């Protein structure tokens, strides 16, 4: 099978050393195998993403010589693909509307931490406590008719029972047993769009025929959720290669906001693409390549 990789930035800021490193890996892995390297703009968070950043990211990739194959796929142009899949999950009773505000969720979690069965924790903090999971169909209808805003969440316990045990392979780590409850009842569609990052990534990796997903190890917990969705939807599971994150001399992770690591400002200060690749290699040194 030909290798297809992708670089999938969210245009919430400019390209920086860390994201350029991800793009470089995806490009190299495709080129080494005589495969295809795709670029996808993940702009489903319509409030945080900006078209100016998208344009700048693509220009910076070109300047670095990281040329991609084919058209760039912009997720906000494909909302109907995601809502179609969301409907499929809905018909199988695998998702439910959640009317909770952030404040309500925080209150619910605070209340449960003082109870004997404290809130369950996921990789990013306490998990959604499931407040809306067991609302009756009539109550759901009433709230929707009353114009209450809602997002859609995956019923992870039901999804886990549907799928059964599953696993996936990370190149550097080997076979990993899927943990379907790791992310709890995560958001499948936000209040303002018919998708979330998790759903869009899963649908697009499938539609674009991605065979090798290269991305930062900070996203590894989400992979458990993505593979769960793949199994629910009958999609193939790609091979994963979660790579280590670039760090500065003190071992601190390079932040997106650091001006010094922005490709645009490096370029404006007279650095060449070769200098940028040197900086990336240096950023790998303190912790060593962790992939
Ligand atoms: N859009 C994500 C980000 O910019 C990357 C997601 C992925 O590679 O799957 O962090």
Question: pTM of the predicted model, to two decimals?
Answer: 0.93
Helices (H), 153-284: 156-163, 197-207, 220-233, 263-268, 273-284
The position carrying tokens 């809502």 is 83
Span 9-42, pLDDT tens digits: 999 999 999 999 999 999 999 999 999 999 999 9
Answer yes or no: are the C-beta atoms of 240 and 213 closer than 8 Å.
yes
- With beta carbons less than 8 A apart as the criterion, state whether 243 and 291 touch: yes
Q: What is the pLDDT of residues 172-208, one digit of tens each?
A: 999 999 999 999 999 999 999 999 999 999 999 999 9
Apex 220 CA angle, 60 and 132, nearest 5: 110
Same domain, 65 and 107: no
Q: Find the CATH number of the domain harbouring 26.
A: 3.40.50.620
Count Cβ atoms within 10 A of the Cβ of residue 113 and give its class: 0-12 exposed, 13-18 middle, 19 or more buried: exposed
Query: What CATH number does residue 184 fall under?
Result: 3.90.800.10
End-of-domain residue from the set 161, 189, 217: 189
- What's the CA gap between 108 and 113, in Å, rounded? 9
CA of 111 to the centre of ligand 1 (A): 33
Whether residues 107 and 180 fall in one domain: yes
71 and 85 co-located in one domain: no
- Catalytic-residue membership of 256: yes
Q: Give the range among 30-44, 83-97, 200-214, 270-284 with minimum mean pLDDT.
A: 270-284
**Same domain membership, residue 95 and residue 69:** no
Specify the ligand 1 atom closest to the Cα of 7.
8
Compute the distance from residue 163 Cα to the ligand 1 centre, in Å.
25
| Number of domains, the chain | 2
The answer to whether residues 34 and 122 belong to one domain is no
Which residue range forms the structural domain that includes residue 59?
4-77+246-283
Catalytic residue among 62, 141, 191, 256: 256
Picking from 189, 209, 235, the residue at the C-terminal end of a domain is 189
């Amino acid at each position: 099978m030909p290798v297809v990789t992708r670089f999938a930035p969210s245009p919430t800021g400019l390209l920086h050393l860390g994201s350029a490193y991800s793009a470089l890996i995806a490009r190299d892995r495709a080129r080494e195998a005589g495969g295809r390297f795709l670029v996808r703009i993940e702009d489903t968070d319509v409030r945080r993403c900006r078209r100016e950043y998208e344009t700048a990211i693509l220009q910076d990739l070109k300047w670095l010589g990281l040329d991609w194959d084919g058209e760039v796929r912009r997720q906000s142009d494909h909302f109907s693909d995601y809502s179609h899949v969301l409907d499929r999950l809905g018909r199988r009773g695998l998702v439910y509307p959640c009317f909770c505000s952030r404040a309500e969720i925080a209150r619910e979690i605070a209340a449960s931490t003082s109870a004997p069965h404290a809130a369950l924790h996921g990789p990013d903090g306490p998990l959604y406590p499931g407040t809306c999971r067991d609302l009756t169909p009539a109550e759901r209808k009433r709230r929707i008719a009353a114009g209450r805003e809602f997002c859609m969440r995956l019923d992870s316990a039901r999804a886990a029972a549907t799928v059964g045990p599953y696993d996936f392979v990370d190149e550097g780590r080997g076979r990993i047993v899927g943990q379907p409850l790791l992310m709890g009842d995560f958001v499948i569609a936000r209040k303002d769009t018919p998708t979330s990052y998790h759903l869009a990534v899963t649908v697009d990796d499938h539609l674009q025929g991605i065979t090798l997903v290269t991305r930062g190890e900070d996203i590894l917990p989400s992979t458990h959720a993505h593979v769960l969705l793949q199994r629910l939807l009958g999609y193939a599971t790609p091979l994963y290669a979660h790579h280590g994150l670039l760090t500065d001399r003190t071992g601190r992770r390079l932040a997106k906001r650091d001006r010094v690591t922005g490709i645009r400002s490096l370029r404006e200060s007279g650095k060449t693409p070769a200098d940028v690749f040197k900086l990336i290699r240096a950023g790998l040194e303190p912790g060593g390549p962790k992939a």
